[in-house]
Amino acid sequence: MIITSTEDTITAIATPPGTGAISIIRVSGSQALNITDKIFYGRIKLPEVDSHTIHYGQIIGSSEEIIDDVLVSVFKKPHSYTGEDSVEISTHGSPLILKKIIELLLESGARHAEPGEFTKRAFLNNKIDLAQAEAVIDLINARTDVSLRGARNQLDGLLSKKVSFLKNHLVNAITLVELGLDFAEEDIEFIENSVLLNKIDAVICEIDNLLSTYSFGKVIKDGVNVAIVGKPNVGKSSLLNYLVKESRVIVSSIPGTTRDIIREEISIDGVLFKLFDTAGIRITQNEIEKEGVYRSREAIKNSDIVIIMNDTVQEYSADIYNEVCSLVEKSKIIPVINKMDLNRSFYNIHNDLGISAKTGEGIGILLDRLKKMALENSIYTEKSAIVSNVRHYRCLQNTKVSLENARKSVIDRYSGEFISIDLRNAANNLSEIIGEVTSDDILNNIFQKFCIGK
């Protein structure tokens, strides 16, 4: 477990590693302005400048040599990303320059930031809640328009507002139940059982609605794994090449050309699809090809959708279809017949989707089917609160369990103490989503996934 002091002033490079036109170094903490001012020479001392101002000057080394001409952006607490005094130094993007400036900052009293420590401080200083903090890394990792919008909505607080509303609803119910306990001897009832049941049922309904968005949320956040499987030479690699619009995989008439899993990504209307071109499934004595077939089966098990390919030239393989059905649900399978351009008179007895990976015939229909299966007819809007994080999903599941226990206690006319405990557990699980109730272990696990400098 990482133990760090929030009293320290921290620094890190905030831009990607390597050479570039511009790079940025972040500094945050109570001594950020003073530490940076020790190595920065401009027209005015940094502790004296106004917040949200930019200043031109030079970084000077210990032997009075000029390291670089820089721009320093100043953000004074509490009006900064971290809620602390913060500085961003914009330098030329030389790794050597960055190394020298970081060394000077460390010598002047700063320490290296841990992964995600800037965002962690933003959370600890109540600039953002925990769900919003987790959205930051999703925003950084977003690779499609849809995943970007999903992360942006969570960062803007759509999920947090929904969770806070439900928690406050429960707190109101808890207050009335516990008031009844305080006045039990006077036989005063602050909330009728029927009213309390309605309140619990209303929250359970909202929880169910949020839980139902999880499969869609996973799609927009992580994308969809699609395995392309079939006998050798049915055109699996040709289909992959057509979809990615380049000759990514060697195509040959020799069976067994693909020995390993080839992975590529495409975006269909903003949804990320991870395509896995697998080795042809067949019985073989070649040890390398055997390993490829084994990996193909593993790819099938881990896929969200499986495209099973046959073609109009070879004999239809029912064995492969049956094998795939033993590894995944039938609802995840899209059977296709390739090479329709070679045999127009082919009788499609199984009514599979006819395509040609050479001419593109039927590919549009295949893409539509992939998207429909991935989204499961979900309707995504800019105002939707979507659950895409497994931690949030588990908290919501635990919330529902506690609410159902409380509901049973109300129906069975148990004492208010039992009802209150379950309602409090439910409220605490909701609070855990936004970080009002959490542990150091959870925080460290979350922020260790961030890059250094964020």
Q: Which tens digit of pLDDT belongs to each residue from 99-143?
A: 999 999 999 999 999 999 999 999 999 999 999 999 998 998 888
Amino acid at 57: G
**What confidence tier does 273 reach under pLDDT thresholds 50, 70, 90?**
very high
Domains plus CATH for the chain? Answer: 10-129 (3.30.1360.120), 143-213+385-435 (1.20.120.430), 224-375 (3.40.50.300)
Helix ranges (DSSP H) in 183-331: 193-211, 214-222, 236-244, 287-301, 318-327
- Overall residue count recorded for the chain in this entry: 454
CA atoms within 13 A on the CB side of 137: 21
Average pLDDT over residues 45-64: 94
Residue with tokens 């953002």: 128
Sign of the alpha-carbon torsion through 273, 274, 278, 281: negative
**What confidence tier does 50 reach under pLDDT thresholds 50, 70, 90?**
very high
**What confidence tier does 45 reach under pLDDT thresholds 50, 70, 90?**
very high
**CA 273, 274, 276 angle in degrees (round to 5)?**
135
Look at 44-53, 71-80, 178-187, 380-389 and tell me which has the smallest mean pLDDT: 178-187
Question: Pairing state of beta strands 86-93 and 66-75?
Answer: antiparallel
* Tokens (6 digits) for 318: 């029912």
pLDDT at 283 over 60: no
Enumerate the β-bridge partners of residue 58: 41, 69
pLDDT tens per residue across span 390-425: 999 999 999 999 999 999 999 988 888 899 999 999
- In this prediction the pTM is 0.80
Enumerate the β-bridge partners of residue 93: 20
**Among the listed residues 431, 426, 226, 256, the one whose alpha carbon sits nearest the alpha carbon of residue 336:** 226
pLDDT tens per residue across span 205-240: 999 999 999 988 888 888 999 999 888 888 888 899
pLDDT at 52 over 60: yes
In whole angstroms, give the CA distance from residue 148 to residue 150. Answer: 5
**What confidence tier does 349 reach under pLDDT thresholds 50, 70, 90?**
confident
Q: What is the pLDDT of residue 165?
A: 95
Q: What is the pLDDT of residue 291?
A: 61
Per the prediction, the chain carries an average pLDDT of 87
Report whether 28 contacts 85 (CB < 8 A): yes
Q: What is the pLDDT of residue 250?
A: 44
Q: What is the pLDDT of residue 182?
A: 61
pLDDT at 450 over 80: yes
